[in-house]
Amino acid sequence: MDRQKILFVSYTAVLGGGELCLIDFAQAYRDTSQVVLLTDGALRQRLEELGVPVQVLASARSLADVKVSSGLMFSLKSIGELWRIGKQIANISQDSDLIHANNQKGFVVAAIARLLGGAPVVWHLHDILTANIFSATNRRVAVTLANWFATRVIVNSQATGDAFLIAGGKRQLLRTVYNGFDSQKFDQISDDQMHLRDELGIPRDRPVVGMFSRLSYWKGQHILLEAASLLTDVHVLLVGDALFGESEYTEQLKKIAAPPSLNGRVHWLGFRQDIPALMKACDAIAHCSTAPEPFGRVIVEAQLAKRPAIATVGGGTGEIIENGVTGFLIPPNDPQLLAAAIQKIFSDRIATAQMVDRAYLQAQTKFSIPSVCLAFDMAIAGIN
Ligand code: UDP
Ligand code: GLC
């Protein structure tokens, strides 16, 4: 079977989870396909390093004024901009079997491209379309466009798919494709990362709990800091930056970490690329989303790093962790329960080691790059 020609379209080029997921599929299709970015950023460089043909549509810069931070909201002027970029994408897509839109703005542009004679559109939906994040109007616009113009909607978990259906999306469009991970990137790193702890000034005998998420209220770093203030010797590693401008939240976190009880126990690392090594420098990894997480890449990464993961219930986390079997699932927004789960991990070392082994095996098979690429191939089969 000939590989399809895909025009991957991404509005954002910041390295968030959705973009890291895109890298794997674009790499798998790099011999026949290309990526068009509507903004420039670190994603372009990563794709270039991997030999994926990529171009930044400079004329799309004006889309920055089109508001999507709280979903999809269009003024007449922005509709004009979207229309113009949609026309360009339609032209570029003439040589492709399909357009793969990796985010909401990218999808709106792709839907317009389809309307103007462009290739069939696959929307890769990485978000849970629920009321606490997207207004009713935004959900209606997104789902109506999907029902009219998308040939398929790929979702990153069943939970994301369920929310799409509840918002009015058509079931026959849906295909679930999980994120994929290369376990070798974790296996090739030594399990002993004590030197990293030394560099960070963390005493070797102290328990370390890491969080590997962009700094955002939704990701819930404050919950981990509050839990740490209940556990007198635990050190916290905060890896990640405020990728989408949540600077107020960062200030709030600094205030929570300031009192003497936490002082010196919270380590701010900013955005890092050496995730496997940093995970192995931790004893446990927490994922504290305050609202349902669509998938949660860092949970699988923790499992591949052979570190116990604690995540909050809701969204796709239940498709990665079976509570007590491959990690711990706790209710969101509850620092006390998080502190109790952390204590349990450190007090029952044998049960924790068994849990970690089971989680590693599951992550290696269920979320391997070949298995998710196969699911991706099947999801787009027959489209041209
Ligand atoms: N990540 C990273 N550097 C950091 C913090 C996070 O590369 O400093 C990666 C992390 O390893 C994961 C992704 O960013 O692969 C975050 O994806 P996830 O699905 O967990 O959350 P998102 O931010 O996409 O909602
Ligand atoms: C989005 C979601 C995250 C998911 C990632 C990759 O960033 O917020 O939960 O893991 O996409 O699909």
What is the side-by-side strand order in the sheet with 6-10?
54-56, 34-37, 6-10, 98-101, 121-125, 150-155, 174-176
Q: 296: Cβ below 6 Å to ligand 2?
A: yes
Within a domain: 128: yes
- State the amino acid at position 23 in one-letter form: I
Would the pLDDT of 72 be above 60?
Answer: no
Q: 293: Cβ below 6 Å to ligand 2?
A: yes
Distance between CA atoms of residues 340 and 323, nearest Å: 14
Is the same domain home to 213 and 290?
A: yes
Is the same domain home to 172 and 311?
A: no
Is the same domain home to 79 and 42?
A: yes
| 121-125 vs 150-155, strand pairing mode | parallel
Of ligand 1's listed atoms, the one at least distance from the Cα of 218 is: 25
Q: Mean pLDDT throughout 180-202?
A: 95
**Runs of H (alpha helix) within the chain:** 17-28, 42-49, 76-92, 104-115, 136-149, 158-166, 184-187, 194-200, 221-230, 247-257, 275-280, 297-304, 335-347, 349-366, 369-380
* Burial label, 131 (beta-carbon count in 10 A; 0-12, 13-18, 19+): exposed
Report residue 22 as tokens: 């895109």
Q: 297: Cβ below 6 Å to ligand 2?
A: yes
Is 235 in contact with 281 (CB distance < 8 Å)? no
Indicate the range of 167-171, 259-263, 304-308, 352-356 predicted with least confidence. 259-263
Per-residue pLDDT of 126-171, as tens digits, reads: 999 987 778 888 889 899 999 999 999 999 999 999 999 999 999 9
Looking at residue 69, its pLDDT comes to 41
Within a domain: 293: yes
For the entire predicted model, the pTM comes to: 0.96
- The residue whose CA has the least distance to atom 11 of ligand 2 is 18
Within a domain: 65: yes
Looking at residue 70, its pLDDT comes to 43
Distance between CA atoms of residues 43 and 128, nearest Å: 23
Is 289 in contact with 314 (CB distance < 8 Å)? yes
Q: From 378, 374, 369, 384, select the one nearest 23 (Cα to Cα).
A: 369
Q: Mean pLDDT throughout 292-305?
A: 98
Distances (CA, A) of 87 to 63, 64, 81, 119, 159: 14, 18, 10, 12, 33
- Report angle CA 277, 21, 79 to the nearest 5 degrees: 135
Would the pLDDT of 297 be above 50?
Answer: yes
Looking at residue 61, its pLDDT comes to 73
Is the same domain home to 190 and 318?
A: yes
The 8-class DSSP code of residue 5 comes to P
- The residue whose CA has the least distance to atom 5 of ligand 1 is 240
Within a domain: 22: yes
Would the pLDDT of 301 be above 50?
Answer: yes
Largest CA distance in the chain: 63
Is the same domain home to 202 and 133?
A: no
Within a domain: 1: no
Is the same domain home to 248 and 116?
A: no
Is the same domain home to 119 and 87?
A: yes
Q: From 127, 332, 313, select the one nearest 220 (Cα to Cα).
A: 332
Is the same domain home to 171 and 197?
A: no
Looking at residue 350, its pLDDT comes to 97
Would the pLDDT of 366 be above 80?
Answer: yes
Within a domain: 13: yes
Q: From 370, 368, 332, 271, select the one nearest 17 (Cα to Cα).
A: 271
Q: 156: Cβ below 6 Å to ligand 2?
A: yes
Would the pLDDT of 68 be above 70?
Answer: no
Looking at residue 133, its pLDDT comes to 76
- Residues touching ligand 1 (Cβ under 6 Å) are 16-18, 20, 212-214, 239-240, 271-272, 275, 295-298, 301
- Report angle CA 108, 110, 115 to the nearest 5 degrees: 95
Per-residue pLDDT of 337-351, as tens digits, reads: 999 999 999 999 999
Is the same domain home to 26 and 126?
A: yes
The 8-class DSSP code of residue 285 comes to E
Q: Mean pLDDT throughout 46-67?
A: 85
Is the same domain home to 327 and 344?
A: yes
Report CA dihedral (119, 121, 122, 125) to the nearest 10 degrees: 140
Q: Mean pLDDT throughout 269-280?
A: 96
Distance between CA atoms of residues 368 and 336, nearest Å: 34
Q: 315: Cβ below 6 Å to ligand 2?
A: no
Looking at residue 271, its pLDDT comes to 94
Name the residue range of residue 220's domain: 184-366
Q: Mean pLDDT throughout 313-336?
A: 98
Per-residue pLDDT of 79-123, as tens digits, reads: 888 899 999 999 999 999 999 999 999 999 999 999 999 999 999
Of ligand 2's listed atoms, the one at least distance from the Cα of 16 is: 7
Q: What is the number of domains present in the chain?
A: 2
Over its C-alpha atoms, the chain yields an Rg (Å, rounded) of: 21
Rounded to the nearest integer, the mean pLDDT of the chain is: 94
Report CA dihedral (328, 332, 338, 342) to the nearest 10 degrees: 30
Is the same domain home to 231 and 166?
A: no
Q: Which residue has the higher pLDDT, 67 or 98?
A: 98
Per-residue pLDDT of 265-274, as tens digits, reads: 999 999 999 9
Give the domain CATH number at 295: 3.40.50.2000
Is 157 in contact with 129 (CB distance < 8 Å)? no
Q: Mean pLDDT throughout 355-375?
A: 98
Confidence of residue 1 (pLDDT cuts 50, 70, 90): low
Q: Mean pLDDT throughout 3-30?
A: 97
Of ligand 1's listed atoms, the one at least distance from the Cα of 269 is: 8
- For the CA of 372, the nearest ligand: 2
Q: Which residue has the higher pLDDT, 75 or 154?
A: 154
Best mutation site among 128, 178, 212 for ligand 1 pocket (most ligand atoms within 8 Å of CB)? 212
Within a domain: 21: yes
Is the same domain home to 11 and 64?
A: yes
Contacts of residue 300, Cβ cutoff 8 Å, sequence gap at least 6: 179, 181, 320, 363, 367
Place of tokens 């389809």: 114
Cα-to-chain-centroid distance, residue 368: 16
Q: 16: Cβ below 6 Å to ligand 2?
A: yes
